[in-house]
């Protein structure tokens, strides 16, 4: 081939690619004036060096000030076009259930919508997970077109940085606070304090100091899941008779077993559908063994097993206290001393109504029920989560000690309610 033919081919190729380039130049120049922060973030990203530009993700249908509503909001499938591996891993993990499990809670449908859609409240953290077409339509019908992407929860748009996602602070916004203070527990543990010292250069860069990602996303795997999970329940029931009985009481209060018959309810299917609990011994120990492998990078295997087993046994002891508390409140329902809120399926405590009032009637949920919820969702959670995140203070003062305080309050309240009840 002659040189001139090559020149023609190259020129032709350049011309052919011109329209796309031209279009993005206009996106960028207009948005540089309009929203310079976004453009600066994009310019700092690997994407900007790899020709992944505004239109690669937002399409080319919007081009002027007047048609901004035509810009597409990219969902995870758009990222998957170029990052199939991470997308596939993510799809199999727990994060993919964030939105669905939030919507599976009865509470979600009685609280204000702003707490679900607006990026604060439940929806602020549960905007994790690929939304189904039906879920997207529901959101659209409410006039809301954002929050369509989960990947940007850790790789914040528009930097889409790996380094940012590797920083444990990427998890902090959601894994903190009332019922899952993993950030607080980890950052003030031996593991976290060493990490923070390392970060400011007081320990060498290769110092052993595990952060969230080391234990929960080993080898960069986006499929995340733990053995016990969030609510600390699992099947099959434990062999220990007392523990098994306590678990049955807890499962009734979670509404997955019928409190009258002990039979599974429809809610059990919802729990299964969102992978909320490991349903077999094997599923549980697969996750546990993965974690032991991680710990064993820095500890002896024996040490690691003993440490995690201690977490299991404090869970057992918490369940003992919890079951007694549930039965005290359940007896008040049974004896007609507190009334069943209209939205409850049974005259029995329902922990999945959270702190709420119990539905349309704002005064329906009794205070003692709210204390019971706090005992389960705040104090019990902290007790065992702190064992797994190696935090002395959370394990005792914020965890176990608060469980016993809640328990004391429940006993006292029940006593007063009975004493002052008029038939
Ligand atoms: C002539 C200026 C201009 C050009 C060119 C332009 N935009 Fe915009 N864009 C706007 C304006 C104005 C808005 C609305 C901003 C607002 O609501 O504050 C907007 C909004 C957006 C939004 C958000 C839409 C929403 O609902 O919040 C996206 C995404 C977007 N533009 C992407 C692009 C892409 C991609 C291109 C190139 C294909 C582009 N823009 C070209 C002016 C422009
Ligand atoms: C790698 C994909 C990607 C690229 C490239 C990209 N965006 Fe976005 N952009 C997103 C995602 C994801 C969202 C959030 C969508 C959602 O959650 O609904 C978003 C949201 C937006 C929004 C609306 C939300 C807000 O915070 O205002 C605007 C405006 C926007 N992008 C502008 C741009 C501009 C301008 C460029 C080019 C400089 C660009 N984007 C490049 C993925 C991208
Ligand atoms: C058109 C292809 C394309 C699309 C669409 C795309 N990316 Fe990328 N992305 C790339 C390329 C190319 C790189 C650079 C790869 C490299 O350097 O190894 C990259 C790099 C990344 C990185 C690593 C950045 C770093 O700091 O090392 C992340 C994270 C990322 N993309 C996330 C996303 C997310 C999230 C979306 C969807 C909102 C998305 N990408 C959409 C092509 C794409
Ligand atoms: C935008 C909020 C958000 C961010 C950021 C976030 N998570 Fe999550 N994470 C969630 C939600 C919500 C769930 C529960 C998902 C569900 O409903 O099944 C969850 C679940 C998990 C679980 C599974 C626990 C179980 O049930 O077994 C692990 C592990 C986890 N996240 C680790 C991380 C790590 C590590 C990071 C940071 C790299 C992170 N998360 C960042 C919201 C977030
Ligand atoms: C040294 C390893 C390690 C580090 C670091 C770590 N975790 Fe964990 N995490 C665990 C273990 C072990 C469990 C319990 C696993 C089980 O159920 O067997 C767990 C459980 C969890 C769970 C499920 C609920 C719970 O607390 O039991 C979430 C969510 C979670 N971790 C998030 C995080 C976040 C976010 C960080 C960082 C702020 C973090 N973890 C740091 C080891 C770690
Ligand atoms: C919970 C936080 C979190 C979420 C959500 C998340 N990522 Fe990541 N991602 C990470 C972390 C942490 C790394 C770095 C992993 C490593 O190298 O150890 C990473 C790395 C990446 C990389 C770079 C891989 C490489 O080695 O160059 C890409 C690409 C990526 N993620 C894409 C995505 C896509 C696409 C999604 C959505 C389907 C997504 N991520 C969702 C935390 C997250
Ligand atoms: C601060 C962020 C945040 C808020 C606000 C929040 N959640 Fe969560 N939620 C999480 C995280 C993180 C997890 C996983 C924690 C863990 O495993 O320890 C989780 C777990 C859950 C789970 C268990 C999912 C599973 O399969 O394990 C349900 C259900 C749930 N949340 C519902 C709700 C509802 C309903 C609301 C509002 C009333 C709410 N959450 C508010 C972050 C949040
Ligand atoms: C990246 C290395 C690393 C990993 C992974 C790791 N640890 Fe550690 N851990 C350390 C270091 C370093 C210390 C401080 C020295 C010591 O006590 O051994 C420590 C301390 C501890 C302590 C004692 C805290 C104290 O104050 O005495 C416990 C308990 C512990 N780790 C449990 C675990 C468990 C359980 C796992 C797995 C879930 C794990 N570690 C994973 C490095 C690691």
pLDDT single digits (tens) 77-98: 999 999 999 999 999 999 999 9
Predicted local confidence at residue 342, as pLDDT: 82
Nearest CA to ligand 2 atom 34: 54
As a whole number of angstroms, the distance between CA 128 and CA 341 comes to 31
Whether the CB-CB separation of 123 and 135 falls below 8 Å is answered with no
Distance (angstroms) between ligand 8 centre and the Cα of 304 equals 8
Where does residue 152 fall: left (phi above 0), alpha (psi -120 to 50 degrees), or beta otherwise? Answer: alpha
Tokens describing residue 410? 């429940």
- The pLDDT score that the predictor gives to residue 82 is 98
How far is Cα 196 from Cα 174, in angstroms, rounded to an integer?
20
Question: How far is C-alpha 161 from the geometric centre of its chain's CA atoms?
Answer: 21
Nearby residues of 59 by Cβ (< 8 Å), 6 or more positions away: 71, 72
Gap between the Cα atoms of 316 and 395, Å rounded = 14
Q: Residues 6 or more apart from 262 whose CB is under 8 A from it? A: 248, 252
Q: Which atom of ligand 2 is nearest to the CA of 127?
A: 17
C-alpha distances out from residue 72 to 57, 62, 64, 81, 149, Å: 8, 8, 14, 15, 12
182-230 tens-digit pLDDT? 999 999 999 999 999 999 999 999 999 999 999 999 999 999 999 999 9
CA of 258 to the centre of ligand 7 (A): 24
Residue 3 has pLDDT above 90, yes or no: no
Name the residue of 76, 91, 95 whose CB sits within 8 Å of the most ligand 4 atoms, as the mutation to test its pocket: 95
Distance, CA of 225 to chain centre: 10
Give 317 Cα–ligand 5 centroid separation in angstroms. 20
Predicted local distance difference test score (pLDDT) of residue 343: 83
Question: Which pLDDT value is given to residue 365?
Answer: 81
């Amino acid at each position: 081939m002659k040189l001139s033919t090559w020149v023609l081919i190259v020129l032709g190729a350049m011309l052919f690619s011109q329209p796309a380039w031209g279009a993005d130049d206009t996106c960028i120049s207009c948005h540089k004036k309009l929203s310079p922060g976004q453009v600066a973030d994009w310019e700092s990203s690997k994407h900007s060096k790899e020709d992944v530009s505004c239109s690669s993700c937002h399409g080319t249908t919007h081009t002027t000030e007047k048609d901004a509503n035509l810009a597409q909001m990219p969902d995870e499938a758009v990222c998957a076009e170029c990052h199939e591996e991470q997308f596939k891993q993510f799809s199999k993990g727990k994060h993919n259930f964030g939105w669905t499990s939030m919507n599976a809670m009865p509470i979600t449908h009685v609280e204000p919508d702003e707490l679900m859609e607006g990026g604060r409240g439940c929806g602020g953290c549960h905007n994790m997970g690929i939304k189904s077409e039906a879920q997207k339509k529901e959101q659209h019908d409410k006039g809301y077109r954002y929050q369509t992407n989960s990947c940007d929860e850790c790789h914040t748009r528009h930097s889409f940085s790996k380094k940012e996602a590797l920083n444990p602070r990427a998890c902090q916004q959601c894994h903190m606070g009332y019922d899952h203070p993993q950030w607080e527990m980890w950052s003030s543990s031996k593991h976290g304090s060493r990490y923070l010292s390392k970060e400011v250069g007081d320990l060498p860069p290769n110092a052993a100091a595990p952060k969230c990602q080391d234990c929960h996303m080993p080898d960069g795997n986006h499929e995340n899941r733990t053995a016990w999970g969030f609510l600390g329940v699992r099947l099959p029931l434990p062999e220990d008779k007392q523990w098994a009985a306590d678990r049955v009481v807890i499962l009734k209060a979670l509404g997955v077993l019928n409190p009258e018959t002990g039979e599974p309810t429809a809610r059990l299917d919802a729990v299964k559908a969102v992978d909320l609990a490991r349903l077999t011994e094997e599923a549980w120990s697969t996750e546990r063994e993965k974690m032991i492998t991680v710990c064993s990078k820095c500890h002896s295997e024996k040490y690691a097993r003993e440490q995690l087993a201690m977490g299991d046994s404090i869970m057992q002891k918490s369940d003992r206290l919890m079951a007694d508390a549930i039965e005290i409140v359940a007896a008040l329902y049974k004896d007609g001393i507190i009334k069943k809120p209209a939205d409850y399926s049974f005259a029995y405590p329902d922990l999945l109504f959270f702190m709420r009032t119990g539905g349309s009637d704002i005064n329906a949920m009794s205070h003692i029920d709210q204390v019971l919820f706090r005992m389960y969702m705040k104090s019990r959670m902290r007790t065992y989560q702190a064992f797994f995140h190696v935090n002395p203070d959370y394990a005792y003062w914020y965890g176990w000690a608060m469980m016993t305080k809640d328990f004391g309050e429940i006993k006292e309240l029940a006593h007063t309610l009975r004493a002052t009840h008029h038939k």
